[in-house]
Amino acid sequence: MRQIKYREAIDEATRQAMAKDERIIVLGVGVDDAKGIFGTTRGAFEQFGSARVFDTPLSEAALTGMCVGAGLRGLHPLLVHARNDFLLLTMDQIVNNAAKWRYMCGGKLRVPLTIRAIVGRGWGQAAQHSQSLQALFAHVPGLAVIMPATPADAKGLLMTALSMDSPVICLEHRWLYEKSGPVPEDPYYIPLGQAGVVREGSDVTIVAVSHMVLEAVQAAEALAADGIQAEILDVRSLRPLDSDSIARSVAKTGRLVIADTGWKSFGVSAEIAARIGEALFGRLKAPIRRVALPDVPTPASSALEQVYYPGPREIAAAARRCLEVALPEESAERPAPARPRDFHGPF
């Protein structure tokens, strides 16, 4: 099967969905410029032109409100926000309007709306430009939240979102855009609420979110060198969450590590831990471990950034603690994370 990049998979999904459904429009700041939001909207603009792919003024709340109205009137807007941090400016439109119209109208009105937003980290973008806010949106009934980690999932999940008649928020980690993987050329759809098994194992379950899936794979390789077989599940969809698949895996291994890109307190890792604790408390062989961001804003300093973000080392250490295996001797100096070579900034 051919290999394409994550950003190319998003662009292909957008083009194929637009070709199938003429109601879909793409809008947002920069969607029609030369760079096309990391290249994710460039192909759609070239194929469909400014009638269906167009730039907008910079007013997040107004744009989102306009898209809610467009959805109510029969269109399916694909709204691109270059940073998920600025979705905070849209909360009234997303939470009080997009998520609730169907319920307030007894199902007679729907809001087909897909919102793409970038989340993640990078070269000192600090407290206001690198947040991972998925827990805020996953908390709201009426919203679906997806976080694809691979090119294949990016295409399949976005195709599904663009076929739905309800609001979906697609959060994309900025370090994933240049990652390559096998992606079918024909359109296909991945159901929401269906986790993916990345790696099978019998000793410990690692449930990972977004870019942490890649970190979990590295951790599993290190654990395998010590004879520990970790099973990795990629949640793919936060709301709906595939609790059943997670429970089946934990029932097999008896141990659970959750790796999330967001803050540890009151976040996705806490929700998953609560669900498994309620369902499988008597079958757990060890306390559930969580690997997530500390409860402080993201630092601007690159030195502090290196100790702020958890990675494979922290995931592997959490798994070893579940198994009561001694941690390997490590130097006090923590290695710097390997940034994507092609990553140069938000646009």
Quickly list DSSP for 110-174: ----EEEEEE---TT-HHHHS---HHHHHTSTT-EEE---SHHHHHHHHHHHTT-SS-EEEEEEG
Q: Tell me how far CA of residue 87 lies from CA of 52, 107, 285, in angstroms.
A: 22, 26, 40
Strand ordering across the sheet containing 237-239: 53-54, 24-27, 76-81, 114-119, 168-173, 144-146, 237-239
User: Going by C-beta distance under 8 Å and a sequence separation of 6 or more, which residues neighbour residue 309?
Assistant: 121, 293, 337
Q: Is 211 a catalytic residue?
A: no
| Active-site option among 129, 139, 211, 344 | 129
Task: Label residue 160 left, alpha or beta by phi (over 0 means left) and psi (-120 to 50 means alpha).
Answer: alpha
User: How many C-beta atoms surround the C-beta of residue 275 within 10 A?
Assistant: 14
Nearest of 342, 347, 340, 346 to residue 35 by alpha carbon: 347
Question: At 3, which helix (H) or strand (E)?
Answer: strand 3-5
d(CA 142, CA 164): 12
23, 63 Cβ separation under 8 angstroms: no
Q: Tell me how far CA of residue 174 lies from CA of 40, 178, 179, 223, 343, in angstroms.
A: 12, 9, 10, 27, 8
**Cα pseudo-dihedral 159, 56, 60, 237, rounded to 10:** 10
Q: Which tokens belong to 276?
A: 């498994």
Nearest of 42, 316, 301, 19 to residue 187 by alpha carbon: 19
Q: What is the dihedral sign for C-alpha 234, 213, 248, 132?
A: negative
Catalytic residues: 129
